Structure 1
Amino acid sequence: MAPIDGRGLPITTSSGEAAALYREGVDLLLSAWPGAVETLRRAVEADPGFALAHAALARAHAVRAEPQDARRHIAQAVELAQVNGTERERSHVEALSLAIGGQGARALDRVLTHLDTWPRDVVIFGLPLGAFGLFAFSGMAGHDQARVDLCERHAAQFSDEDWWFLTYRGWSQAENGAVALGRDLAERGFALRPANANGAHAVSHAMFEEGSGAAAEAFIEDWLPSYDRSGVLHGHIAWHQALAALERGDAARALSIYDGYVQPAASTGLPINIVTDTVSFLWRMAAYGHGVPAELWRQAADYAEEKFPTPGQAFIDVHLGLAQAATGRTGLLQQRIDDTTRLVEAGTLAAGPVVPGMCRAALAFAEERYATCVAILEPLASEVLRIGGSGAQREVFHDTLLVALMRSGETEKARRLLDQRLHRRPSPRDSAWMRSLAA
């Protein structure tokens, strides 16, 4: 019998051991669980000519922000697939090669074409999904709906017991506003495979969107000890817990979680998560009226500038804008505004003018020019989606507008915006700034 992957698709390898290791390694990869690289490396050692094992190993290195290893293995996969790969395997490797090579638009086109023929090819199906997937970072405003459409188009191809598909279908639905459905799907997927950081993440997001912050805190408190701190999502899932504590007004608890799991010195996550989690948490703390030690801001800004010195990644650029504004690094922030403006004019920044605009708004907010901040942010509110990420991550910019409205004296506008937010996502009113609006 020909060897198959975990979803029944044929794979080209002469080694039963390599095939078994590949299936195990892909499941670890899809669940963001430690051991994926090591397991897939053993699959390659068992059959050095196994193109898909090299490709999956490349993807695993990319997920861990190890670009040199990712490029080396995807190059080997491309070469091997041309020699002994099937049509699906060649297409699979091509899609991954484009994604790892940073060619997002071409990769997305290739992925969607590939899935029309092989929708159960889950390594490829995962590329457009998630907060940092090809859809989210495409610059499109409708990426939440696009993920739902893709999942629903191919839902009939997956069983009700497929933990991976349930997880990402649920996350996509919850992010797009179908929160009850999304939570149900995500929880079903998680129940099938609790050793799944992506599953725990999806459940946490659904709870956040539902306004069930206390439930999210308790869920993460119970589950997180089972996830090794080396896991790439460990710090980020702890960030969700800290955010829930902060939202209910327990700043001391939130800061304790931040210190222990989220700050750069504590987290072993991806640099993009560490930057955006640290910056958005500290900005929220300050905006909600809590004191933020200057040293925490300095550490977060230093880390961000070291890891991402070059502009051009919209999600990073706007968070760096917050960090540089908060730390008074006005010259560096103005340079980033100028650089991203030039990228927009050249047509090479997919998210467009919202990026330099949000950086200008951050500077105005930090300098207490709240009316100016409002004038910049209000027209951009519907464009924030273009930077990518999740609703939980982007909400920091909507909260910035809300606080700026309050502090500029536009109380009625602030109340209307708060009502809209609470209609979309119920949340506690325990924070001081929310109490002042409710008064």
Structure 2
Amino acid sequence: MNTTSNDACKFFDITLNQLVTWREDDQFGGIEGSIEKMLNCDVDFILGHVLKSGIELIGSSANLSPSYSHNITHLTSLADKVSKNLTKRELLHVQAIINLYSGDINKSCDLWESILIEHPNDMLAIKFAHDSYFYLGQHPQMRDSISRVLPYWKNDSHLYGYLHGMHSFGYVQSNFFQEAKLSAFKALEYNPNDAWASHTLCHYNEYKNEFDSGIKFLRETEKDWSVCNLISPHNYWHLALYHLERDEHEISLEIFDEEISKTLNLNRTLDLVDLISLLYRLKLDNCKVDLKERWLKLQEVYMNRIHDHGYTFNDMHILLMLCACENEEGKKEFFDSFDCYLKEPNREDLIRDSCNNIIGTKKFENYLKEVNRKFGVNLFDAISYFEQKEYEKVVDCIKPIRYEIFKIGGSNAQRDLFHLILTQSALLSNNLEYKKFGINLVNERLGLKPNSNLTKRISNRFTNYHS
């Protein structure tokens, strides 16, 4: 690494360790404090800046905005200044961050994978690729990326066990359920506190229709995974979903209030998604408890996100919140800024010769923007139409793209929200063909989860087809 500071290297490792384990260390000020200490030790530490920018950019639309450009300009200027002292691996890491900021996240993943061919023990590249594949909805890639590097690691290497946790999540999201279960338990043998492996088992129990087992597992192991503050609210979200399945709305809301909302004021993206999604699912399930105050509290914290476009998956939750709060002015502001985002020209990259001299520029491919054009427009319109009770238009928006929605990122469980909205819209439609389509969507859901009380409640509320 291009630093002569042992302390900078130490804090780099401390930061990366917290990121991989999903557990912040208060003695160092968490991830933010560790990054600050790292760069105070060496302000020109290239991989330190790469680590900082990767954490800030992956999965967060806020930092994809033009206001973040000074960070990227600083990184590129710094890399140019010391380029002769940088290794090929460091230069590839820098370029991956530049592409990431410009929305060309697929290219970033390609660069991280190039690093891993020569350096399969580079945990920074492993982690950034793993998380980025998640936000791209590229689950086979998430699985295979870990499969490629695992044989090169010794089982007594630091963080080795966490690779199995990552592997297990790639397995479960690509529907290799037995492999996912085995890999998750292997990870937990190495590290009982591996909350990402525990998270895999949340999905396993969800997809296998074993909601009671899911509750039992999470409650019995709560002391292990709950200490991992970066992911524990999300595991509690899964716990709340299990109770929602059992029509136990009060318990779901208790978990919402006591566990998931604890970090609300930190304004973290993953918490945003969990909180909004859970309330909206309760709303769809005809929850009898008044949710208005909870919605307004979320809006108070997350209103500053309505201009942060890039990740469709994040944006859809902001719009769900605005609709639930009946904030018409906010919705207009959201759609106006989204339209401006789509019209913005793609950023430019520098073209260099073999001696690293700048010889021209080229436009970046902005994959995230293309996803927004292909899917975001339809999905955002569908959410608005649903709130306006224009159910046929909801079906028209979602039905043509429903088998490609995975490309907006997130997990299969998280994106199920769109299947719920589509199913209810079809059943509520005045169009007879769409009503029949809605019945078939209920059949789909029962085919995957025969014992789903949630789906049976949908069927009972909207159709007499199923008893």
* TM bracket, shorter-chain basis: 0.7 to 0.9
Distance 2:329 2:448 in 1: 37
Residue 144 of structure 1 corresponds to which residue in structure 2? 139
Q: CA offset at residue 386 of structure 1?
A: 2.1
Residue 121 of structure 2 corresponds to which residue in structure 1? 120
Residue 357 of structure 2 corresponds to which residue in structure 1? none
Residue 321 of structure 1 corresponds to which residue in structure 2? 319
> Structure with the greater relative contact order (CA < 8 A, sep ≥ 6): 1 or 2?
2
TM-score with structure 2 setting the length: 0.77
Distance 2:263 2:90 in 1: 39
Is the contact made by 1:148 and 1:173 (CA closer than 8 Å) also made in structure 2? yes
What count of residue pairs does the alignment treat as equivalent?
Answer: 422
1:298 is the counterpart of 2:305: no
| Corresponding letter in the other structure for 1:395 | D
Residue 370 of structure 2 corresponds to which residue in structure 1? 350
Distance 1:190 1:16 in 2: 32
Is the contact made by 2:279 and 2:291 (CA closer than 8 Å) also made in structure 1? no
Distance 1:246 1:404 in 2: 20
Distance 1:229 1:185 in 2: 21
SS in 2 for 1:128: helix
1:433 is the counterpart of 2:458: yes
Is the contact made by 1:171 and 1:206 (CA closer than 8 Å) also made in structure 2? no
TM alignment of 1:238-249, pairs within 5 A: 238-249=236-247
Distance 2:59 2:192 in 1: 21
Distance 2:48 2:304 in 1: 33
Counterpart pick for 1:254 among 252, 255, 269: 252
Change (3 A) 1:98 1:360: closer
Is the contact made by 1:405 and 1:414 (CA closer than 8 Å) also made in structure 2? yes
Residue 189 of structure 2 corresponds to which residue in structure 1? 191
SS in 2 for 1:113: helix
Residue 389 of structure 1 corresponds to which residue in structure 2? 410
1:216-254: CA deviations, max 9, x gaps?
A: 223333444445678222322211111111112111100
Residue 280 of structure 2 corresponds to which residue in structure 1? 283
TM-score with structure 1 setting the length: 0.81
Q: CA offset at residue 363 of structure 1?
A: 1.7
Residue 373 of structure 1 corresponds to which residue in structure 2? 394
Change (3 A) 1:427 1:361: farther
1:312-357: CA deviations, max 9, x gaps?
A: 4311221122222222223432453454356556685231232121
Q: CA offset at residue 394 of structure 1?
A: 0.7
Distance 1:193 1:79 in 2: 41
Is the contact made by 2:269 and 2:314 (CA closer than 8 Å) also made in structure 1? yes
Residue 360 of structure 2 corresponds to which residue in structure 1? none
| Corresponding letter in the other structure for 1:110 | L
Q: CA offset at residue 391 of structure 1?
A: 0.9
Query: Percent identity among equivalent residues?
Result: 18
1:134-191: CA deviations, max 9, x gaps?
A: x3444xxx61223233333444334567312211111011111112211221221122
- Over the aligned positions, Cα root-mean-square deviation in angstroms equals 3.6
Unaligned 5+ segments in structure 2 are: 347-365
Distance 2:393 2:58 in 1: 39
| Corresponding letter in the other structure for 1:198 | W
Residue 7 of structure 1 corresponds to which residue in structure 2? none
Residue 207 of structure 1 corresponds to which residue in structure 2? 205
Q: CA offset at residue 298 of structure 1?
A: 1.9
1:88 is the counterpart of 2:89: yes
Residue 358 of structure 2 corresponds to which residue in structure 1? none
1:172-212: CA deviations, max 9, x gaps?
A: 11111112211221221122112233233233223322222
Distance 2:337 2:307 in 1: 12
Change (3 A) 1:341 1:86: closer
| Corresponding letter in the other structure for 2:274 | D
1:335-384: CA deviations, max 9, x gaps?
A: 53454356556685231232121122112222222222222221221232
| Corresponding letter in the other structure for 1:165 | L
Is the contact made by 2:241 and 2:252 (CA closer than 8 Å) also made in structure 1? yes
Unaligned 5+ segments in structure 1 are: 1-10
Counterpart pick for 1:26 among 5, 10, 16: 16
Change (3 A) 1:365 1:22: closer
Distance 2:299 2:172 in 1: 31
Residue 332 of structure 1 corresponds to which residue in structure 2? 330
1:2-61: CA deviations, max 9, x gaps?
A: xxxxxxxxx566677766665454333211111253556666677777654564455556
Distance 1:246 1:383 in 2: 27
Q: CA offset at residue 79 of structure 1?
A: 7.3
1:178 is the counterpart of 2:203: no
